[in-house]
Structure 1
Amino acid sequence: MKSLFVSILATALASTVAAQDTKAFLGRWDMTVTPATGKPYPQWIELTESGGKIEGRIQPRGGAWHPITGARIESGKLIVDVGEAHPGSEISWELTSPSAGKLTGIEKQGDASGPTLAGVKAPLLDRPMPKKWTKPRPIFDGKDLKGWEPIGNVDNNKWVARNGELVNDNPEVPGQRGHGAANIMTTEKFQDFKLHIEVNCPEGGNSGIYLRGRYELQVGTEGGKLPSHEMGAIYSWYPPPAGAENNLGKWTTFDVTLVGRHVTVLRDGKMYHDNVELPGPTGGALDSNESEPGPFYLQGDHHGVILYRNITISVPKK
């Protein structure tokens, strides 16, 4: 009887320790992945617990977020199965117990160790709506690229100022993804703002407007399979309203208000997203430093001759 009691007590204690270990990992984490060669890049992960089971979702370097496939505590570390590099090649994150709001670990592909991982607790960014805003001012003068700089494959920059428009002069070629062309971003960084921007995206075109360089407002189409990847979506997080049409090949207007991590988007005066929360960065983000100001950047590495014009900004009035 005594041995049974000891066994039950040991099991209970082990469960308590495991629960405490798990609790430290829960929440949203802004991650930076550093490979042995090449530049660090951002990712994001959210971990929750339900009925004693660890669940979660992860935002990879590019593309859409997806659920993790599993997670478990082993020797005080959290092993997160994050997906496949390719069929039969599992990727996992081996994370050490967080300390002072910071998370470290290593990415593994099978048994092979890969990039190092570093994360911080994602900030709440819970700020009230400003009472007053500055008068809108242009951040593109329509004459040249002053205030903007190409990023990514800068040796293949297709961005030009022409006829008052900021143009990604990058025609679609069937079977090719943008010829590896450059993106473009503002040299100025912003925190909270009201953005007005007009875009003309051709049929089949694909671009995106990145807010603070981290959250993508989708421009164009990815073929219509997923609403959250179509015109006006907050990429992979929020689709446009049900029944919304892409209406490509025509000028359309976006008015975007971003305060903290809450965003409101109107397209041609119609509400698309009403003060929705941005859980974390979207694929293609410049970094995962969510508490910091960031630039606007426009995708040019996909395809289609995309035209932007009348880009203005307002910020909270001090």
Structure 2
Amino acid sequence: MKTKIALLALLPAGLLFADHHGEQTTKKLYPNAPLIPGSEYTVHDTTRPQPRKVESGGCVSVKAPSDAKVLFDGTNTEAWKGNWRVEDGILIASRGTLSTKEEFGDCQVHIEYRVPADREVMGQKGGNSGIFLMGRYEIQIGESHTNVTYPDGQAGAVYGQTPPLVNPATPQGEWQSYDIIFKAPVSEDGKVVKPAEITVLFNGVVVQASYKIQGPTKHQTTTSYPENHPAKGPINLQWHNDPIEFRNIWVRDLGEYDQQ
């Protein structure tokens, strides 16, 4: 075991990752995955360098502004379609997708999540969820403080497209926060002429800065925008067989400048 650890320590940064079983290896998990457009790396490329770890102050809990639509305040799931359960003021991923009844385009979203402390997490298993803007564009939710996975699939990533700029995750069992500013794609004559754009603060730290989303997020493949893209869509929370916990979820429409 000591010899193995010593040899692993000599490998270049970015070559180690945890596969679906949590084992460290230098093999690509998806060797036939395509190159991400504009990148030298393939989708879910485990040789891609891991984002730099930074210490953060942890969850930034923000009270919903007066013009926000409160999606979850600890009491009920009336704003959602789905069957997740609520226990002690906490929304727990239970089964199936949870989807807002209302649809949104340009918006600001605040959400807080926690991976249970006693949950065994290995790679993409055990602590996995995601928040989907317009039901199509996923920001990965998961345990990234000590757990290692492919960089475009760790917490704060635009799934399958780009890793977070840095990794400000705090230990498993602690609450974490995302503050998201999302600009919906712009279409003309049924075709997207301006891509969706997203900025994400993870525990108060910028991890996506006006990133231009390449299309709906997908697994193991590249993406592009479909024709006749809708102007709005629901916010979805993903069930990935893991009981991820959520609290304090709200959204604000981002309209034009209001002088009144």
Q: Same fold (TM over 0.5)?
A: yes
Q: Which residue matches 2:80?
A: 148
Give, as a single letter, the amino acid of the residue that structure 1 aligns with 2:86: A
SS for the counterpart of 1:228 is: helix
Q: Which has the larger radius of gyration?
A: 1
- Alpha-carbon offset, residue 234 of structure 1: 0.8
**Alignment check: 8 A CA contact 2:200 2:209 kept:** yes
RMSD: 2.9
Cα gap change, 1:299 to 1:246, in 2 (>3 Å): farther
Q: Give the alignment's TM-score, normalised by structure 2.
A: 0.58
Cα gap change, 1:259 to 1:299, in 2 (>3 Å): same
Distance 2:170 2:164 in 1: 9
Q: Which runs of 5+ in 2 are unaligned?
A: 1-29, 36-64, 122-126, 185-195
Instruction: Confirm whether residue 182 of structure 1 aligns to residue 96 of structure 2.
Output: yes
Give, as a single letter, the amino acid of the residue that structure 1 aligns with 2:100: T
> Residue by residue, what CA displacement relative to the aligned partner does 1:266-314 show, whole Å, maximum 9, x if unpaired?
01110000111001001279x95634311011111x2322111111111
Q: Give the alignment's TM-score, normalised by structure 1.
A: 0.48
Question: Aligned ranges for residues 117-136 of structure 1 at < 5 Å?
Answer: 135-136=67-68
Give, as a single letter, the amino acid of the residue that structure 1 aligns with 2:231: E
Considering fraction of residues, name the structure with more strand.
1
Instruction: Confirm whether residue 292 of structure 1 aligns to residue 231 of structure 2.
Output: yes
Q: Which residue matches 2:208?
A: 273
Cα gap change, 1:236 to 1:146, in 2 (>3 Å): same
- Alpha-carbon offset, residue 227 of structure 1: 0.9
Considering fraction of residues, name the structure with more helix.
1
Higher relative contact order (CA 8 A, sep 6+): 2
Instruction: Confirm whether residue 306 of structure 1 aligns to residue 244 of structure 2.
Output: yes
Distance 2:112 2:169 in 1: 17
Moved over 3 A (4+): 242-247, 287-291
**Alignment check: 8 A CA contact 1:140 1:147 kept:** yes
- Alpha-carbon offset, residue 246 of structure 1: 6.1
> Residue by residue, what CA displacement relative to the aligned partner does 1:214-266 show, whole Å, maximum 9, x if unpaired?
01110115962311111111101110124544633210110000013010000
Give, as a single letter, the amino acid of the residue that structure 1 aligns with 2:153: H
Question: Aligned ranges for residues 1-318 of structure 1 at < 5 Å?
Answer: 66-67=33-34, 135-150=67-82, 157=83, 159-169=84-94, 181-202=95-116, 203=119, 204=121, 205-221=127-143, 224-245=148-169, 247-260=171-184, 261-283=196-218, 290-300=229-239, 302-317=240-255
**Alignment check: 8 A CA contact 1:134 1:317 kept:** no
Identity between Structure 1 and Structure 2 (%): 32
Q: Which runs of 5+ in 1 are unaligned?
A: 1-62, 69-132, 151-156, 170-180
Distance 1:220 1:256 in 2: 16
Distance 1:256 1:211 in 2: 10
Distance 2:217 2:149 in 1: 18
Q: Which residue matches 1:104?
A: none
Cα gap change, 1:226 to 1:138, in 2 (>3 Å): same
